[in-house]
Each structure stands twice: as structure tokens, then as C-alpha cells.
Amino acid sequence: MAYIDPDREAWEVFKGLPRDQPIQMLNLIRLKPKAEYPEGHPDHGRDLTGLDAYRAYGRTTAHIFKRVGGKQIWAGRPQVMVTGPGAEAWDIAFIAEYPSSAAFIEMVRDPEYRQLVQHRTAGVDDSRLLRLDPIREPGEGFSE
């Protein structure tokens, strides 16, 4: 089963958590080999990869992400699933930080963002999005 957008239940839980503190969002993205834009979209029928579409998503929404106070704080290229199902291979991994969950909600509800997110949908085969409560002073070991 592929996951592209939050389901209603998870979204309600997200909105019910505190909205006035910084959050981080862990993103794991698996891309489609070929982007799939709907008919009527300017990129429909073009020979674009999922990566092309995802890059268009990032490029076109960057000003909205920045306006709400978002910033990418970590990015990496997944290489091998050491622990976990090997079928869950990811092409892109990053952590985005927002000044609050209210800022994230503002971004995803922005009318321009809602149009531009079509690039993401066209390029993403599967994804995971995990809200994190940042620990500002983590311990020296592998725990808090």
C-alpha cells in the first residue's frame, strides 16, 4: 500500500497536538520512475521522471515554505535499509523544521501550495511523514 497524503484520522491527531511549539517533520520519499501528471496539467504527457516532478515541487513551493518559517535542517541519500524491510527503500530523506504545527497547517492549506503540490503527487510513489517533537539538548547516548 502506498502513502502519498495523510489520512483523515492521522491529520486529526496531528491537529490535536500542541500548535504553538517548533516541530520537525521526517520525510521519506520513494519516487516514481516516470512522473504521472493528470490530464489538463501543463506537464501531462511530458517525459519527466519522478525526481523531475519532485524537484519542481520543491522549487515552486520554496517561497511558501520559507514564508511560514520552514527550513530544511537535514537531508541525506538513503543507501541501504539496515534494520527493517528491504522493500522500504527510499530515494530521498530529509527533516524539515517549522516554528509550529500551525505554520505547517498554514502551508498545506495555502491555495497556491494546494495547486503546486500536484508536482509532488505526480512524482511520489510512496512516502512517510513523521511529526517529531525536537529534543533541543539530547543526551550523549542513543536516547534522550
Domain boundaries, the chain: 8-13+21-132
pLDDT at position 2, please?
Answer: 86
pLDDT at position 138, please?
Answer: 73
C-alpha cell at 73: 535542517
Give the separation between CA 89 and CA 85, rounded to whole angstroms. 8
Backbone dihedral region of 92: left (phi > 0), alpha (psi from -120 to 50 degrees) or beta? Answer: beta
| 143 pLDDT higher than 80 | no
User: Residue 120: helix, strand or coil by DSSP?
Assistant: helix
Q: Which of 101, 95, 116 is nearest to 69 (CA)?
A: 101
| 5 pLDDT higher than 90 | no
User: Residue 101: helix, strand or coil by DSSP?
Assistant: helix
Question: CA end-to-end span of the chain, whole Å?
Answer: 33
Contact, 57 vs 123, CB < 8 A?
yes
pLDDT at position 72, please?
Answer: 97
Amino acid (1-letter code) at residue 71: K
Give the separation between CA 46 and CA 48, rounded to whole angstroms. 6
C-alpha cell at 85: 524491510
User: How many residues are there in the chain?
Assistant: 144
| CATH fold label, 8-13+21-132 | Alpha-Beta Plaits (3.30.70)
pLDDT at position 106, please?
Answer: 97
